[in-house]
Structure 1
Amino acid sequence: MIVRIMGEGQWRLADDKLEQLNAVDTDLEKAVSAGDEEGFKAAFGALLEFVRGGERVPDTELHDSDAILPPGDSTLAEMRELISGDGLIAG
């Protein structure tokens, strides 16, 4: 799975990480739905950190992204506009 963080690049995550990735994404969705600013910051930070823990794809390689995450400085209000009922990560 290839995940892009806008403004940073792409990371390759092993397919067996999808369940963990979805769990972190669910925490983010819950915090955003509740309007919980602190919970949002913690969950979004955890999601970005999880993705950054994957294998960085060199900028010279171009791959279709399976998921695209907003920049790390995104706000709760911006995230509300982006999150659907399935969170940021489909699946």
Structure 2
Amino acid sequence: MIVRIMGEGQLTLADGRLGELNKLDDELLAEMENGDGPGFRATLQALLAKVRELGEPLPDDTLEPSDLILPSPDATLEEVQELLSDDGLIPGGA
């Protein structure tokens, strides 16, 4: 799976790793629903850090269609809400 972090680039991520990201995605959704700005910010940073940890960066001169697009680290709560699906940011979540 190809994951894009807006403003950073693309990474390849094994589909089997999505489960590891869903817990953070579920936390992010709960914080957004509760209007917890500081919690949202911390969890967004943790989610992006986990994607970077688990993923393998694609070369800068490579552009592949992205299967998953995640917000930039400085995205606002409102910007992230626009990217949400019923599953959150990561497919297969609660």
**Counterpart position of 1:35:** 35
Q: Report the count of equivalent residues.
A: 91
Q: Distance in 2 between matches of 1:82 and 1:18?
A: 17
Root mean square deviation of aligned Cα? 1.4
How far apart are residue 77 of structure 1 and its match? 2.5
**Counterpart position of 1:71:** 72
How far apart are residue 62 of structure 1 and its match? 1.9
State the TM-score, normalizing by the size of structure 1.
0.88
| Mapped contact 1:5–1:69 kept (Cα < 8 A) | yes
| Mapped contact 1:32–1:79 kept (Cα < 8 A) | no
**Residues 33-70 of structure 1 deviation map (CA, whole Å, 9 limit, x = unaligned):** 11111110111001110111111111222211110012
**Counterpart position of 2:8:** 8
Unaligned ranges ≥5, structure 2: none
SS in structure 2 opposite 1:44?
helix
Give matches, 1:76-91, under 5 Å.
Answer: 76-91=77-92
Unaligned ranges ≥5, structure 1: none
> What is the percent sequence identity of the aligned residues?
55
Residue 44 of structure 1 pairs with residue 44 of structure 2: yes
State the TM-score, normalizing by the size of structure 2.
0.85
| Mapped contact 2:2–2:10 kept (Cα < 8 A) | yes
